[in-house]
Amino acid sequence: MKGLDSVAAVPGSFINKRKDLGMENKISKIAGKIFPVVAFAMSVYHLWQVMMPSIDPTKHMDIHLAFALSLVFLSAMIIKDDKHSGRTCLSQIASICFLIMALVSTAYIFVNFNALLNRAGRYTGMDTIIGFILILAVLEATRRTYGLLLPGLVVISLLYGHFGKYLPGIFHHAGYSWPRLIASVTTYLYGIFGTVLNVSATYIVLFMIFGGLLESSGAGQFFINIAIALGGKTRSGAAQAAVIGSGLVGSINGSAVANVASTGTFTIPMMKDRGYEPYYAGAIESVASTGGMIMPPVMGVGAFIMAGIIGVPYAKIALCALPAALMYYVTTGISVHMRALRCGFKPLPDEMIPDKKKLMKEDGLFFLPLLAIIILLISGTSVMRSAFLGCVILVICYIVKNSVRNPKFVLTRQFWGFLYNGLISGAKSAMTVAAACAAMGIVTQIFVMTGLAMNIVFFIKTLSGSVGLVALILTMAVTILFGMGVPTTAAYVLVASLAGSVLVELGFDKLAVHLFIYYYAALANITPPVASAALVASKIAKADYFKTSVTATRLGLPGFILPFMIVYHQELLLQGNIISIVAIVFSSFVGLFCMCACFEGFVFRKLNVIERILMAVCAVCGIWPGTKTDIICYVIFIVVIGGQYMQSRKLKRAVSGQR
């Protein structure tokens, strides 16, 4: 994804040491020195704000945005290699101008905060100018980090806010003057400074800092190694390592594309080496990495935004989302294992499989911060304090791990380097999220101002005939469409503001509806024609992109079915009595298992045509739980799977008898 890797994590790598120190290199050198200082300061400020909260929430958002925009424009000035990465002196000067614009506009809002509050609903000429400058800075920051589509969406929404009076039908509204429109999304302290940016400034940034510290500690490699140790001895060992490793890493870093880029460079070549076709290896990694977006505890930071929008505690969202996330990963693991059995792949060689006991002894402490965060959230501790304490526990674990060899470890350069680089890495991740959240704040505010959200509600209800299933299908299509070009969280916020209330009015549970929308926003990462996660995976695998993305969609099909299942069966969200929860979860799992078997054509041996058809029927009955469908599902499952098992046993005995 453009812009996400524009800055290196280690401060010393910012400066390109070229012999010809032209203007570009001088600017790059200065920016390279300033960036890590600002990033470090951003992380320290947010951690301090948790310990000693002393700033008004809106002022805090303003400071958060100032840090994020500054980092985006500083990173754009840095030359990383001899090719200049396309950054000419002119583009660097443009970045300097946008940096000044960002600092001036956020400083104006901070200094004049009380005055802006006192004249709420009114604006001055200076307010309009400052608001316009801030919008330009946010647009350029999102363009630098996410490409043209997201800022283009913001521009279209602004044009709609002004010219809507000329549009027909549901898009018609009275229209707003440019000064009022600009003030409404900036100096009125709504829009940019709305719920979405507030979540970024309070929750998301702290988990990004936690992820940065985790990455700096080397925990990412530990998670991959433990995944290899757990699944390496099976025939699908290489693929299971990708599924488990990407799930562990992805549940923390919150980006499918970044997850593919980090873990895929290791897991994809390993899968290819064991016999998986390049396109299939890329598909496995992209599906596994996308699952990290829906896997608690972090869930691609979407759970935090969801909590802010619907007012449901984050801990409850994470807990309710767990069964579906586990089913997603288990069915993915089953699919790749069936593929390995069908193709006769061999397990990983013993020399490639780390010793589990040794791994846990050396690095098992890295699980403690994750467990601590989960326990704190379940116990009712605030999200901010849970994330902060998770960071503290992680630092303590890192000290304990290394102090065994060196009692004075806290005084060494390695420890302070870990802390420094981890805080910088966390700020680097947070800067892109903050820019997107600010942009989406503009869009959602205009939807509210113009009444478009309510008009869309009426339109969807009319188009669907108030039929819930039709409305869900329409919402799914719109979510995937938006999710193809904008960040997952941005797509979720956009569609939730438009269609979420429609589905709730049709009788669906609010939490289930928002998870439904969020899941499809995440699954857009593996949906052609964009499929950004599959695109990155195909490049690493050196495979055909279209074949990789189509295979990823097929492999991830249980994930496309799960949102409908959780909307219609809230037992999958752990809501209801324990007996119904167990029954629904079990029958749903059996149905998804049969779906995997049908597509892969293998269980204990290859499925014939009749068996595949029966597995398809079993899958349909299982994913639509009910007394009659459950009975049909279980009968077919026992007959087909039992027959497969008996025939495979006979075949093995026959082969062993010939020997």
Q: What is the pLDDT of residues 486-512, one digit of tens each?
A: 788 888 998 998 889 889 989 999 999
Q: d(Cα 580, Cα 588) in Å, to the nearest integer?
A: 12
**Residue pLDDT, tens place only, 329-341:** 999 999 999 999 9
**Residue pLDDT, tens place only, 421-470:** 999 999 999 999 899 999 999 999 999 899 988 888 788 888 888 789 99
- Specify whether the CB–CB gap between 331 and 590 falls below 8 A: no
**Residue pLDDT, tens place only, 187-210:** 999 999 998 899 899 988 999 999
The β-bridge partners of 602 are 606
* Residue 81: pLDDT band with limits 50, 70, 90: low
Measured CA to CA in angstroms, residue 257 lies from 44, 315, 523, 544, 554 at distances of 27, 26, 12, 17, 19
Supply the pLDDT for residue 7: 39
Helix-helix angle 302-310:488-505, to 10 degrees: 40
Q: What is the CA radius of gyration of the chain?
A: 26
Amino acid at 431: M
Q: pTM of whole model > 0.75?
A: yes
Bond prior to 323 in cis (omega within 30° of 0):
no
| pLDDT, averaged across the chain | 89
* Residue 1: pLDDT band with limits 50, 70, 90: very low
pLDDT, average across residues 134-146: 95
Supply the pLDDT for residue 169: 85
Supply the pLDDT for residue 11: 43
Measured CA to CA in angstroms, residue 436 lies from 138, 251, 383 at distances of 8, 20, 21
Supply the pLDDT for residue 392: 96
Q: Domain residue spans in the chain?
A: 11-197, 202-411, 451-613+624-652
Measured CA to CA in angstroms, residue 352 lies from 50, 51, 155, 465, 519 at distances of 43, 44, 52, 58, 35
DSSP character string of 271-336: HHHTT--HHHHHHHHHHHHHHTTTSTTTGGGHHHHHHHHH---HHHHHHHHHHHHHHHHHHHHHHH
Amino acid at 580: S
The answer to whether residue 315 scores a pLDDT higher than 90 is no
Q: d(Cα 194, Cα 190) in Å, to the nearest integer?
A: 5
Q: d(Cα 634, Cα 118) in Å, to the nearest integer?
A: 66
Amino acid at 147: G
- Which own/partner pairs from 372-380 qualify as long-range (CB within 8 Å, at least 24 positions apart)? 373/210, 373/297, 374/296, 374/297, 374/318, 377/297, 377/314, 377/315, 377/318, 378/315, 378/319, 380/315
Supply the pLDDT for residue 17: 43
Q: Which residues contact 605 (CB under 8 A, 6 or more apart)?
A: 644, 647, 648, 651
Report the residue count for the chain: 659
Nearest to 241 by CA among 103, 233, 607, 414: 233
The answer to whether residue 515 scores a pLDDT higher than 50 is yes
DSSP character string of 363-387: HGGGHHHHHHHHHHHHTT--HHHHH
Tokens of 40: 């470090």
